[in-house]
């Protein structure tokens, strides 16, 4: 089998919003500047009174001479540019089943391929190649990886975008529990620039969520790169009585020493790695003793091939991997092929993961806090033509 072509398409349609859909802002790294701190959410907001919004997503297709096409998406259009300009020459005519060889070539072909959008492009290609292998053998990817290690995968409710007023946090946290989720994650809106009042509003979210769910649900909290060491330590100590499962990404990802200091002083578990790349980046993070929980994202860190190596590395350090939930299927296949001790749960972004599956015929969503495993060969992405109102080929040549 040989790779014959690589194609990219932008799909367009209309996304139907859930009732009450609105996107609350979260703290971020740019909040050190007042004009950015005053901005609203970084996510698009629905038009008042509308129950639908336009949606457009990019997908990559890798064709073979045996009629099998690997498919992955949605991805950023920047990734399609990187694939076409930098990766395509190393893929055309090659054997798509020789995944280790191709990953090594793609990671070596440019000195800047080690991180950022080019590694994210390599990740998308890797996902397409796994899709091809699964389709060629008639098996879902987790079977090729040695799974399943369990029949279903538990998920935690990730509340990015949900309202953070105390009464709404209480209501939604309780609803998540009643829906069967045994863990949930909330996102802080304030950072150091908001002073003591902002810190108190952050702590109100922690207190309210714990009051709503009691002691039998894990609670996690995300600062999304928006704090500094002193603020994170103070918040960690104040949060400690409420027994958070972890505090996530308190500072930007390259500040490894700061992660280690926060972990040593804050008195609560620290999570990170969503914005780290490859096994070599995680080796540095693990050696620093900066995190209790690893959150590598298969969409970004090198694909499923690299995630398998990262999981093996983390298991040697006795650190669990909770893959970041940028998209569902790659993480679901990976988790289903790892020990439950290594990969305990799937992150499910309640507000955003349905949108990322909008153009898919088969959607993977938690029911009772668990997600069923795919049965389709490959990754299991099948496009729903009835929802695609327009297809545009992306050309970078």
Residues annotated catalytic, as ranges: 324
Q: How many CA atoms, within 13 angstroms, populate the side-chain half-sphere of residue 15?
A: 25
Between β-strands 52-64 and 69-75, what pairing exists: parallel, antiparallel or unpaired?
antiparallel
40: left (phi over 0), alpha (psi -120 to 50) or beta: beta
Q: Which residue from 241, 185, 263, 240 is spatially nearest to 26, judged by alpha carbons?
A: 185
Residue 65 tokens read as 């001479």
Among all chains, which residue has been given the structure tokens 């920047």? Answer: 78
Considering only CA atoms, give the Rg of the chain.
21
Q: Which helix (H) or strand (E) holds 353?
A: helix 353-356
For residue 210, give the H/E element and its range. Answer: helix 195-213
φ, ψ at 371 (rounded to 5°): -120, 130
Q: How many CB atoms lie within 10 A of CB 83?
A: 25
Structure tokens at 196: 């003591």
Q: How open is the CA angle 265-268-274, to the nearest 5 degrees?
A: 100
Nearest to 82 by CA among 325, 394, 306: 394
């Amino acid at each position: 089998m040989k790779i014959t072509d690589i194609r990219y398409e932008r799909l367009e349609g209309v996304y139907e919003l859930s009732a009450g859909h609105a996107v609350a802002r979260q703290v971020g790294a740019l909040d050190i500047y007042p004009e950015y701190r005053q901005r609203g959410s970084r996510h698009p907001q629905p038009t008042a009174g509308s129950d639908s919004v336009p949606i457009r997503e990019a997908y990559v297709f890798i064709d073979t001479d045996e009629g099998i096409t690997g498919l992955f998406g949605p991805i950023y259009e920047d990734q399609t540019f990187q694939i076409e300009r930098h990766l395509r020459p190393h893929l055309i005519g090659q054997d798509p089943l020789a995944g280790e060889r191709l990953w090594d070539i793609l990671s070596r072909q440019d000195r800047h391929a080690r991180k950022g959008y080019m590694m994210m492009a390599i990740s998308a290609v890797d996902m397409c190649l796994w899709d091809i292998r699964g389709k060629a053998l008639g098996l879902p990817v987790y079977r090729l990886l040695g799974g399943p290690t369990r029949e279903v995968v538990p998920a935690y409710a990730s509340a990015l975008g949900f309202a953070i007023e105390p009464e709404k946090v209480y209501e939604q946290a309780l609803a998540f529990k009643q829906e069967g989720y045994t863990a949930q994650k909330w996102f802080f809106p304030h950072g150091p620039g908001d002073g003591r009042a902002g810190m108190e509003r952050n702590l109100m979210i922690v207190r309210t969520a714990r009051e709503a769910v009691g002691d039998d649900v894990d609670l996690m909290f995300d600062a999304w790169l928006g704090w500094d060491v002193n603020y994170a330590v103070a918040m960690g100590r104040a949060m400690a009585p409420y027994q958070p499962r972890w505090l996530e990404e308190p500072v930007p990802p390259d500040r490894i020493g700061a992660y280690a200091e926060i972990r040593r002083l804050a008195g609560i578990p620290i999570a990170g790695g969503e914005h780290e790349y490859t096994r070599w980046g995680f080796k540095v993070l693990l050696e620093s003793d900066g995190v209790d929980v690893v959150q590598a994202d298969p969409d970004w860190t090198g694909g499923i091939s690299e995630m398998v190596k990262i999981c093996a590395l983390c298991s040697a350090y006795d650190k669990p991997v909770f893959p970041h939930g940028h998209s569902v299927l790659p993480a679901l296949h990976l988790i289903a092929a790892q020990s439950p001790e290594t990969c305990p749960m799937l992150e499910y972004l309640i507000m955003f993961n349905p949108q990322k599956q909008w153009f898919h015929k088969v959607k993977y969503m938690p029911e009772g806090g668990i997600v069923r495993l795919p049965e389709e060969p490959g990754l299991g992405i099948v496009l729903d033509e009835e929802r695609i109102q327009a297809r545009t080929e992306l050309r970078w040549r």
